[in-house]
Every structure is written in C-alpha cells, then in structure tokens.
Amino acid sequence: MSGALGAELDRLVERYNASQKRYRVLSYFQGPYDEAMAREIRRRGVRRAPHLVQVNDAATAGMLRSRTAQPLWQLMKQARRPLDAKYLPAVSAHFSDAEGRLLGLPFTGATPVLYYNRDAFRNAQLDPAKAPKTWSEMPDALGALLESGHSCGLTTAWQSWVLVENMSAWHNQRFATTAPGGASEAQGGAGPRLAFNNRLMVRWISTLASWQKAGYFTYAGRADEAEARFASGECAMLTSTSAAYAELRTRAGFDFAVAQLPYYDDFDDAPGNTLIGGSALWALGGRSAAEYRAVADFLAWLARPSVQAEWHQRTGDVPLTTAAYDLTRKQGFYQSHPGHEVAVRQLLSRPAADATPRVHLGGIARIRGIIDEELEAVWTNGKTPLDALNAAVRRGNLLLEKTNP
C-alpha cells in the first residue's frame, strides 16, 4: 500500500514497535503484487524475501500453488499463539483451506455498495434519504434524474467484480461449479468451471444494455474511472467498492450517501451476501522457529479488536472480525459514520449457496480481464448479452483447464 494507506500502515507498525521491546517490524513498499512474485521468491530464495508479504485476493491461488507460504494456522500453533479472533465468514473463506483453517491473516477488506448523490435526488424530487432498494425500483429513479438535467444516472467501477462476481453472490447464484479442492459438479471431477452464464446474469446484463441505450447507465472503464465521474457530479449513482468512501468524501463537492447494493426481489434467495475484496498477510516459509515466534507476535497484535477497529475507522476498510465490529458499534462510530456500516451488514447477510471463493481459482485476474472484454462488446453493441456471457465462460474455462487442471 502506498499513499495515505501506506502511511497508516507505517503508523500501525510504529505502534506495535512501541508496544514491546523484543521485536522490531520494518515495513517497506515494493510496488504492486503480481503473480510473478512467488516465482521470484523461489528464484532468489526465501532468505532474501521478507518474513511477511501483503497479497491481494486475486493472487491467493498463486500463493497456494507456489508453496512458498507457511500456513498461518500452523505457524500460530507452533508458536503457541492461537488466534482468538473470529473473522467474518465472508472474509475467512477467502484465505482458508478446505478445512476452514486460515492460511494468511486477513488484513484489508471492502465490498461493493451503492453511492448516490443526495443533492441530485432533491433536484429530481426524489427522497434523499431513500435510494432504490431493488433493481425494479431503479428505472423510475434514473428516469427522474435524467429529466431533472443529469446526463448520467448510473455508472459502475470494477465491472467484473461488481456486476458479475458480486451480483452472483448477492443472489445466491454460482460463479463457478466447484468448491476449492473439490470435484466439479458439472464435469465429474474435471476441476473448477465457470458457470455465470445463467438466467440471472443474462437478465442483468440485458437490463444494463437497455439502460445504456436509454441513457440511464454509462460505462466508464474497467477500473475506478467511474468514481471520478461520480465525484465530479456527472453521474448521480455509482456502484463501487466501499473502500472508495473516504476518497469520494474528499473529492465530492455535494451531499452523498451510501446505500445497500440493490437486488432482484423476485429471486427467492436474494439478498445473500456480497463478497470481500482485499488482501491478507502471508508468512513465507524457510525461517527459524525464533523468527516465526516474532511473526506470530506481530500477527496476534494485529488481530486484536482494538487494533482492528481503529484500522477500520481510520481507513474505511470494513472491520474483519466480529469483535472489531462490536467494538466500533459500542464506540458510537456508526452514529456519525452510517455509511461505513452498510458494507458490513452486506457481508453479514445470509451465507451464499455458492461458498466457492472465486479467488481460489487460478488466473482470476485474467478471467476478470476476459469478462471485461466481453462486457465491453455488449456496451458497444458488438454482441448480445447471452453471446458475450457464453464467450466469457468458454474462454475462462479454457484458461482454467490450464491453471486448475
């Protein structure tokens, strides 16, 4: 992490170093993580690598395949420092093995939410205290916003993660047809296979395509470009990561609020829960028992409710443990920052039927790129939603055959 988050991490490390005299932690920024990192560690050897690395969720499968990491549950057990922290199920599933044991320490986390411009709602004679709760309610609001002079009603950032992965989980629909390390339901044990070209997703992408033609929906780009269009006041509503809240608050010159991600109310199992996006701290292998005791001490300190709660409140990341969430509530933080609790409630909703953490799929970053390409073909009228989704699943499964045989 660089910038403001990097400064907060340095502050956290300084607090730990000041809290005891036996160990000293040094943190340094090495640039963004990619899947080549594990290969580089093997090439150079673990003695030249750091004790801990922060790895984003899209690279989880790479860390598992590389076998360079020391499993967290094993490290803490050997150091006699068992973790008492109870992580939110939507968090722990992404960094655990098939037996539910943590492989890395969850560190940062966010989930998609709906941001809406309350000033724009007032101008459109809409209730500024009430954003559309379901997608069936959305067209009326979008129409009113455009009639009041807004050129862009709704936009989205991180379209693959928000529109496909999270919408699938939110409606308890499968993104893939296998559990981590399990046999594929559709392929008789042939490995994980993508399965999001279903009724929900065809309906959803078709809806967005029609909204784009009507001017209700605007595609802004694959990453966070949509956040700038919302912050400038151009777009009245935005679906994006809850981690964008602090930055949007700084940049937006208008009154806005955070609401729950809308859902289709005619799906019986909706809403389920949205997915966490974030990172974990992984301990690398090949170190001495004494060094691992130091690592365990630092990780146990990071897992404390007071530390977790402070990190959540200062950075905008969601609290990752139930104790940190409870402490933040008792401190009255959500009374003055209600938007911060919306994301937490989504993660604590009903467990999804598809418990498969998509980050355990090898090549998930490249799969997201494939989904982006196919969705862009829809936005430019080059493909129908069904053709694009079928192509995304077919191309993604060809990749999975190579990375998850």
- Region 199-223: what's the mean pLDDT? 97
Per-residue pLDDT of 291-332, as tens digits, reads 999 999 999 999 999 999 999 988 878 999 999 999 999 999
Each domain of the chain, given as residue ranges in start order, spans 3-110+275-347, 112-274+362-403
pLDDT at 305: 95
Strand blocks (E) in 285-341: none
Strand, coil or helix: 2: coil
- Region 43-66: what's the mean pLDDT? 74
Q: Is 306 exposed, middle or buried (0-12, 13-18, 19+ CB in 10 A)?
A: exposed
Give the residue from 356, 354, 294, 305 showing the smallest Cα distance to 330. Answer: 305
> What residue has token string 């607090």?
15
Q: What is the largest CA-CA distance in the chain?
A: 67
pLDDT at 184: 38
Phi, psi of 277 (to 5 degrees): -125, 130
Say what percent of the chain tops pLDDT 90.
Answer: 62
Strands 112-117 and 256-259 come out as: antiparallel
CA angle 377/382/385 to nearest 5° reads: 65
Inter-CA distances, 218 with 150, 203, 309, 317, Å: 12, 18, 36, 27
pLDDT band at residue 64 using 50, 70 and 90 as cut-offs: confident
Strands 52-56 and 152-156 come out as: unpaired
> What residue has token string 């104790």?
323
Strand, coil or helix: 53: strand
Give the residue from 277, 255, 244 showing the smallest Cα distance to 346. Answer: 277
* Cβ-based neighbour number of residue 241 at 10 Å: 23
The letter for the amino acid at 284 is L
Q: Do the domains 3-110+275-347 and 112-274+362-403 sit in the same CATH topology, yes or no?
A: yes
- Region 118-129: what's the mean pLDDT? 98
- Region 378-392: what's the mean pLDDT? 98
204/266 Cα distance (integer angstroms): 13
Q: Is the pLDDT of residue 181 over 80?
A: no
Q: Is the pLDDT of residue 168 over 60?
A: yes
291/224 Cα distance (integer angstroms): 39
Q: Provide the whole-model pTM.
A: 0.86
Answer whether the bond into residue 271 is a cis peptide, omega within 30°: yes
Say what percent of the chain tops pLDDT 70.
Answer: 89
Question: Which residue would you say has higher pLDDT here, 160 or 364?
Answer: 160
pLDDT at 185: 40
Give the residue from 321, 320, 327 showing the smallest Cα distance to 109. Answer: 320
Q: Is the pLDDT of residue 186 over 80?
A: no
Q: What is the CATH number of domain 3-110+275-347?
A: 3.40.190.10
Sorted by sequence, the CB contacts under 8 Å of residue 165 that are 6+ apart come out as 175, 275, 358
- Region 370-384: what's the mean pLDDT? 98
227/268 Cα distance (integer angstroms): 32
Taken in order 353, 358, 362, 366, is the CA torsion positive or negative? positive
- Region 141-168: what's the mean pLDDT? 96
Inter-CA distances, 205 with 195, 370, 388, Å: 15, 15, 10
Sorted by sequence, the CB contacts under 8 Å of residue 394 that are 6+ apart come out as none
* Topology classification of domain 112-274+362-403: D-Maltodextrin-Binding Protein; domain 2 (3.40.190)
Q: What H or E segment, with its residue span, contains residue 146?
A: helix 138-147
Token pair recorded at residue 240: 């994006």
Taken in order 355, 357, 362, 363, is the CA torsion positive or negative? positive
